[in-house]
Amino acid sequence: MAREPQTLRERIHEIIFEADTRFGKAFDVALIALILLSVLTVVIHSTDWASNYNVVFNGLEWFFTGVFAIEYLIRLIIVKKPIKYATSFFGIIDLLSILPAFIGLVVPNGSELLVVRMLRLLRVFRVFKLARFLTEASSLKQALIVARHKIAVFITAVLIIVVIASAVMHVVEGASGNEGFKSIPDAMYWAIITMTTVGYGDATPQTGIGKAITAALTLTGYAMIIVPTGIISAELSAPHKPRSKLTTQVCPSCTREGHDADAVHCKFCGETL
């Protein structure tokens, strides 16, 4: 078992970074509510109706920005390695949730990028009985790591097909004056949206050969959809060593979580939890 927090700094760290305690969970729930309200404010502010209440909505946006800025600074202060936290996934997301407000002072409508705060809702899995979610997330992460070489081979094969098909279509359709295929990069755009079966229609073949290639590439795209799904499914269903129950315990040194319920030290840096 991890030791009980002794100092004020450790107690604040437990409340802000963890959700195993009553106060920690309450803090995260309040934070999630503020995130939702701030995003809702930005969304409504972008409508014509809200133009009559610019002062109100601007005030609300700066209020939420101020709250999140103070919270971000507190996080930097209470962790033992501020740079480590600032460059971590959630540290970057926390910073990005503040910056758009200041970008909006220079770039018109730049403050609307505040909706990036939605990414902070990923913390919801740390709040409501997360041990289960963290364990499943860990399994998915492990499956992606194990399958990374197969996925890399698959993506490489897709890129090869895209480049070859683009070059052929540039020769076939470009020679006929089709503006959508006047260069290989233009044709690559067509190849990607064709293989993904999106088919926007802004670049379409006009020759018989071009249409035949399009049909073949579309069918190839359909056939390849199942490949990454099969790779990940195979890794997820493969027998693995039973995983220990994980908690929301966050290391005060490296700010990483995903520790076993009975862990005393961080399994990533060795710091006492």
Please report the DSSP string for 100-156 in residue order. HHHHTTTSTTGGGGGGGGGGGGGGGGGTSSHHHHHHHHHHHHHHHHHTHHHHHHHHH
Summarised one tens digit per residue, pLDDT across range 171-193 is: 888 777 887 888 888 888 889 88
Q: What pLDDT is recorded for position 98?
A: 84
| Residue bearing tokens 């501020």 | 82
- Say which DSSP state 48 is in: S
CA distance to 11, 107, 188, per residue, from 160 (Å):
54, 39, 11
Per the DSSP assignment, residues forming a β-bridge with 260 are 246
Summarised one tens digit per residue, pLDDT across range 105-117 is: 777 766 666 667 7
**Range with lowest mean pLDDT among 25-34, 159-168, 186-195:** 25-34
Pure H helices in the chain: 8-17, 22-45, 54-78, 82-86, 89-96, 99-103, 130-146, 148-174, 184-195, 208-237
Q: What pLDDT is recorded for position 240?
A: 55
Summarised one tens digit per residue, pLDDT across range 206-231 is: 888 888 988 998 888 888 877 777 77
d(CA 140, CA 38): 31
Q: What pLDDT is recorded for position 135?
A: 59
Average pLDDT, the chain: 78
